Structure 1
Amino acid sequence: MRIRVSQFIDFAYGDKRKDKSKAKSIIDDLELPYDPAKDRYKQFREAMASYEDKAISDQQFLALHTKVAPNKSSGYRVLSQNYLDLKEDHALIWQGRSPIEANIAGLQITTAWYLRTEANNQRRIIFLHFGKEQLPRKKERGLLTVLRMAQPDSAGVGILNIQPGTLITATRLNQEEAEYLHERAEKFLLIAQDLRSAE
């Protein structure tokens, strides 16, 4: 079973008295089709990949905002500049578009778009998060835990919250929290199996 990271975190930190209904709502949400009209950052992600593949120049990447709808233009203009500035400021190295698979007790979690930096001979992964708002602290902690499970060889894991308003990196993890999320993943799978067998 594959669910979005945000859905799993909602379950993991949700109301423990309503586990069954929470798991059911997550499973039901999986039936919703992809809606490109709601994918606000699709053009930016594609342009970023083209830029990193050397298919477009710095100038073309920075001019992306002139080729999108007016309601996206100002945000895209800031995003492009912020991305280049942050890569330079933190010596980030592009690592491609391959998805990262996190397997937690059989629960597959996927994210993508990551960069890395070398510091003190340690590998540190920084994942990109596209969103209109900064991740809530609780969800950010949970996502860091999930990503650490996906990349156990990383000395540190970070989230780059990339949006017009903020650029934030978060690093390091809490082992107790990682263990807690692992237990919640196992519980989710048991509930999901019970729900499906009851159908």
Structure 2
Amino acid sequence: MKISVNQFIDFAYGDKRKDKTKAASIIDDLDVPYDPAKDRYKQFREALASFEDGKVSTSEFLTLHSGVSANKSAGYKILCKNYLDLKEDYALIWQGRSPVEAEISGLRITTAWYLRTEENNQRRIIFLHFGKEQLPREKERGLLTVLRLAKPDSAGVGILNIQPGTLVTSTRIDQIEADYLRKRAEKFMAIAKDILAGR
């Protein structure tokens, strides 16, 4: 079963009393088509890709906020500026939209990474987070662990929280965390099989 990293981490660190409800919700979501109207950062991601591909100039990228709806404008202005500042500050290299898939106890957990940086000739992968707020500590830790499991040849992983303007990096995972996520993945698979068998 292939689910997104956010779905899995919400299950892994969520309310354990509601495991079956959460698993059922994730299974139902797999059948729901993508709705661009609910994708707040779609225009930003498209503009970012165009900028990195050389189709949009720096000045055009920085004025992206003037061409979006009023409720997105202020956030987009910060996103564009923070992206350029953080990319320069941390010597980040555009890598494009490459999928990351970690297989944990029968679950294929997917996400995407966009940037990398070289450190002592070793690759570090960076995951872009577009949320209004910085990731909660548990979610951040879980995401770093999943990314590290997906790319074990990387020297480390990081999360680029564009909105708050911080870069969190981790050079290795905590084995206790990895073991915990494996147990939660096994629990999810057991619940999912039970739910699917009953349908």
Q: Percent identity, aligned pairs only?
A: 72
Separation in 2 of the partners of 1:76 and 1:137? Answer: 24
- Specify the alignment match of 1:29 in structure 2: 29
- Specify the alignment match of 2:98 in structure 1: 98
- Specify the alignment match of 1:67 in structure 2: 67
Deviation at 1:9, TM superposition (A): 1.1
- Specify the alignment match of 2:110 in structure 1: 110
Change in 2 beyond 3 A, CA 1:71/1:14: closer
- Specify the alignment match of 1:192 in structure 2: 192
Deviation at 1:146, TM superposition (A): 0.8
Q: Which amino acid aligns with 2:122?
A: Q
Q: Which amino acid aligns with 2:198?
A: A
Separation in 2 of the partners of 1:192 and 1:102? Answer: 18
* Greater share of residues in strand: 2
Deviation at 1:17, TM superposition (A): 4.3
Deviation at 1:186, TM superposition (A): 1.9
State the TM-score, normalized to the length of structure 1: 0.92
- Specify the alignment match of 2:183 in structure 1: 183
Contact (CA 8 Å) 2:86, 2:165: kept in 1 or not? no
Residue segments in structure 2 that go unaligned for 5+ positions in a row: none
Q: Which amino acid aligns with 2:57?
A: S
Separation in 2 of the partners of 1:48 and 1:3? Answer: 25
Q: Which amino acid aligns with 1:61?
A: F
Q: Which amino acid aligns with 2:43?
A: Q
Deviation readout 1:65-123 (Å, 9 max, x if unpaired): 11111211121112111111111110001111121122222312221242111112221
CA RMSD of aligned residues (A): 1.6
Separation in 2 of the partners of 1:63 and 1:14? Answer: 38
Secondary structure in structure 1 of the residue aligned to 2:128:
strand
Which stretch of the first structure deviates more once superposed, 58-67 or 99-108?
99-108
Deviation at 1:190, TM superposition (A): 1.9
Q: Which amino acid aligns with 1:123?
A: R
Q: Which amino acid aligns with 1:67?
A: G
Contact (CA 8 Å) 2:156, 2:169: kept in 1 or not? no
Secondary structure in structure 1 of the residue aligned to 2:194:
helix
Contact (CA 8 Å) 2:82, 2:165: kept in 1 or not? no
Deviation at 1:60, TM superposition (A): 1.1
- Specify the alignment match of 1:171 in structure 2: 170
Structure 1 residue 84 corresponds to structure 2 residue 84: yes
Separation in 1 of the partners of 2:16 and 2:62? Answer: 46
Q: Which amino acid aligns with 1:96?
A: G
Separation in 1 of the partners of 2:136 and 2:121? Answer: 31
Separation in 1 of the partners of 2:132 and 2:121? Answer: 34
